[in-house]
Amino acid sequence: MDAETSPPRRAGAARTATLPEIPAPTPPLSPCDTCAADAFVLTFEADLPPSYNAEYLFTLQESQRRVIEFVTATVEVPAGESARLRMYTGLSSGAAGNFDLALTPQGIAEGQSVYVCTHQVRLYTDGFLGINVNRDNATTSGTVLMSVSGYLV
Q: Is the pLDDT of residue 13 over 60?
A: no
DSSP SS3 for 106: strand
Residue 1 has a pLDDT of 55
Third-level CATH fold of 34-152 = Jelly Rolls (2.60.120)
- Say if CB 63 and CB 126 are below 8 A apart: yes
Q: Is the pLDDT of residue 39 over 60?
A: yes
Q: Is the pLDDT of residue 73 over 70?
A: yes
Residue 66 has a pLDDT of 92
Residue 124 has a pLDDT of 93
- What is the chain's mean pLDDT, rounded? 87
Q: Is the pLDDT of residue 34 over 80?
A: no
CA atoms within 13 A on the CB side of 43: 4
Beta-carbon contacts of residue 38 (< 8 Å; ≥ 6 apart): 151, 152, 153
How far is C-alpha 67 from the chain's CA centre? Answer: 9
